[in-house]
């Protein structure tokens, strides 16, 4: 571990020195802040040889200061020294995160915060790099719009995005998801009582789950028409089999000794099912719900490529790509990503509440 942070530190020092040299050569009033930051960077890097400035607060400071400085000056010409400065402060941020991760905190509260710091920092840097690269290097919007352009477009076209959201996610994906998951669950419970059917259906269900089911989209559009019903049908087919397979596997997870115990209590079939076996199957069912949440989004959007009314995320993406309005496309992607992440988060939250007894949850 020490080795890695030394390598990072060496590179950070190197980039700071580069920044210092290039700023002093082409010195002007505009790059005085770059010069100061590079001197701070060099001082921090000297900890390779002398034991000072070791606290991660300094590393954190130079990272944040660079981000703020570059963002403020992005639309004028960036001083030449800011490129090595960005790299060196990125490395310092990495070092800071590394140190924060190694620190032991006493309370649960602060260690929870710690677990959020790293991914947030990573995300901020990704977006920052994206912004700097697209604006600073003047990448055309057609290839990759910058986050700020996407954000502006997102806010400017909230009404269109909302209509698309309702059409694709609420009507097609959600309805299809609910029908597909519940029918998969019910049929799994029905089949479960026949070992013969179970042995036959499990391999076939597993096999079908691996198939490119998305290909039925054109057929469903022919059968159910252009509106959301056909998309919901695709989602039903896509989500049915993962749910079926997972529930069947989950129902067989409770051990003989537990079933025997239920029998000694004089429990009926339905009581054993509800009080023992469905509980045992819950982690598997939630696994299927998570897999299906992504599949449902994909199914609903891709099915729109095969014919759709003039609303919907898939429709918007394919038409705006044709018109080279990439900022609108990225706004739709943001919607899809938000919906996907939030749905996943909600399912995980419910899972943690309902299956708190399971080792995989207790372990965390």
Partner 1 sequence: MTTMRIRANKFLKKIAEKILPILTILFLLTVVWYFFTIYLNSAMQIDKYDRQGISWNISKLVLDTMSQERPKLPAPHQIAEEIWKTTVEKKITSKRSLIYHSSITLSSTIVGFMLGTVLGVVLAVSIVENRAMESSLMPWIIASQTIPILAIAPMIIVVLNSLGFSGLLPKALISTYLSFFPIVVGMVKGLRSPDIILVDLMKTYNSSKVDIFFKLRLPASVPFLFTSMKVAIAISLVGAIVGELPTGAVAGLGARLLTGSYYGQTIQIWSALIMASILAATLVFSIQAIGYLVSKKMGYTNEEA
Task: Please answer whether residues 107 and 124 qualify as being in contact, where contact means their C-beta atoms are separated by less than 8 angstroms.
Answer: no
Among 46, 152, 333, 361, binds partner 1 (CB under 8 A): 333
In 3D space, the residue among 68, 79, 91 whose CA is nearest the CA of residue 14 turns out to be 91
Count CB-CB contacts under 10 A for residue 116: 9
255-283 burial: b if 16+ Cβ within 10 Å, else e:
eeeeeeebeeeebeeeebbeebbbbbbbb
Those residues with Cβ within 8 angstroms of residue 288's Cβ, 6 or more apart along the chain or in another chain: 181, 184, 242, 243, 245, 246, 247
Among 7, 36, 190, 211, binds partner 1 (CB under 8 A): 211
Burial zone of 142 (CB within 10 Å; 0-12 exposed, 13-18 middle, 19+ buried): exposed
Task: Please answer whether residues 201 and 190 qualify as being in contact, where contact means their C-beta atoms are separated by less than 8 angstroms.
Answer: no
In 3D space, the residue among 87, 86, 95 whose CA is nearest the CA of residue 54 turns out to be 95
Burial zone of 219 (CB within 10 Å; 0-12 exposed, 13-18 middle, 19+ buried): middle
Alpha-carbon Rg for the chain, nearest whole angstrom, is 27
Among 51, 212, 266, 359, binds partner 1 (CB under 8 A): 212
Residues 133-192 that bind partner 1 (CB under 8 A): 142-144
Please, which residue, 147 or 340, has the CB nearer to partner 1? 340
Half-sphere exposure of 270 (CA within 13 A, CB side): 0
Among 18, 251, 317, 331, binds partner 1 (CB under 8 A): 317
Binding mask 292-311 for partner 1 (x = CB under 8 A): -xx--xx--xx--xxx----
Shortest gap between Cβ of 89 and partner 1 (angstroms)? 16
Among 112, 200, 269, 349, binds partner 1 (CB under 8 A): 200
What is the distance in angstroms between the CA of the first residue and the CA of the last residue of the chain? 24
Shortest gap between Cβ of 31 and partner 1 (angstroms)? 31
Please, which residue, 334 or 355, has the CB nearer to partner 1? 334
Residues 1-30 that bind partner 1 (CB under 8 A): 1, 4
Shortest gap between Cβ of 184 and partner 1 (angstroms)? 16
Please, which residue, 101 or 310, has the CB nearer to partner 1? 101
For residues 177 and 144, what is the distance between their CA atoms, to the nearest angstrom? 32
Residues 48-107 that bind partner 1 (CB under 8 A): 94, 97-98, 101-102
Binding mask 217-256 for partner 1 (x = CB under 8 A): -xx-xxx---------------------------------
Task: Please answer whether residues 300 and 172 qualify as being in contact, where contact means their C-beta atoms are separated by less than 8 angstroms.
Answer: yes
Please, which residue, 72 or 338, has the CB nearer to partner 1? 338
Residue 329 sits in the site that holds partner 1 (CB under 8 A): yes
Please, which residue, 94 or 165, has the CB nearer to partner 1? 94
Q: What region, left, alpha or beta, does residue 50 occupy, with left being phi > 0 and alpha being psi -120 to 50 degrees?
A: beta
Q: Which residues bind partner 1 (CB under 8 A)?
A: 1, 4, 94, 97-98, 101-102, 115, 118-119, 121-123, 126, 142-144, 196-201, 203-204, 207, 210-212, 214-216, 218-219, 221-223, 293-294, 297-298, 301-302, 305-307, 313-314, 317-318, 321, 326, 329, 333, 336-337, 340-341, 343-344
């Amino acid at each position: 571990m020490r080795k890695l942070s030394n390598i990072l530190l060496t590179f950070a020092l190197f980039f700071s020195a580069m920044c210092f040299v290039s700023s002093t050569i082409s010195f002007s009033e505009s790059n005085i802040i770059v010069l100061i930051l590079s001197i701070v960077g060099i001082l921090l890097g000297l900890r390779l040889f002398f034991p000072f400035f070791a606290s991660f607060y300094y590393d954190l400071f130079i990272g944040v200061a660079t981000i703020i400085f570059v963002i403020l000056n992005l639309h004028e010409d960036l001083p030449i020294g800011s490129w090595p400065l960005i790299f060196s402060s990125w490395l310092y941020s990495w070092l800071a995160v590394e140190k924060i991760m190694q620190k032991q905190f006493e309370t649960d509260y602060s260690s929870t915060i710690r677990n959020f710091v790293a991914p947030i920092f990573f995300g901020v840097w990704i977006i920052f790099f994206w912004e700097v690269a697209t604006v600073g290097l003047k990448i055309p919007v057609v290839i990759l719009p910058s986050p700020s352009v996407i954000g502006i477009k997102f806010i400017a076209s909230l009404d269109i995005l909302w209509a698309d959201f309702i059409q694709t996610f609420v009507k097609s994906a959600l309805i299809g998801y609910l029908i597909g998951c519940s029918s998969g669950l019910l049929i799994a419970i029905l089949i479960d009582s026949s070992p013969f059917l179970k042995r036959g259906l499990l391999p076939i269900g597993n096999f079908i789950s691996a198939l490119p089911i998305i290909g039925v989209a054109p057929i469903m559009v022919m059968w159910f028409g252009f509106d959301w019903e056909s998309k919901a049908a695709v989602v039903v087919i896509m989500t049915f089999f993962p749910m079926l397979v997972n529930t069947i596997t989950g129902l067989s997870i409770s051990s003989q000794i537990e079933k025997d115990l239920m029998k000694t209590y004089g429990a009926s079939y339905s009581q054993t099912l509800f009080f023992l076996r469905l509980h045992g199957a819950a982690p598997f069912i939630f696994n299927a719900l998570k897999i299906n949440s992504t599949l449902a989004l994909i199914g609903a959007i891709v099915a729109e490529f095969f014919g759709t009314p003039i609303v919907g995320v898939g429709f918007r993406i394919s038409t705006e790509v044709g018109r080279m309005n990439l900022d609108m496309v990225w706004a739709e992607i943001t919607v899809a990503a938000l919906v996907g992440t939030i749905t996943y988060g909600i399912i995980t939250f419910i899972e943690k509440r309902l299956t708190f007894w399971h080792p995989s949850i207790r372990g965390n």
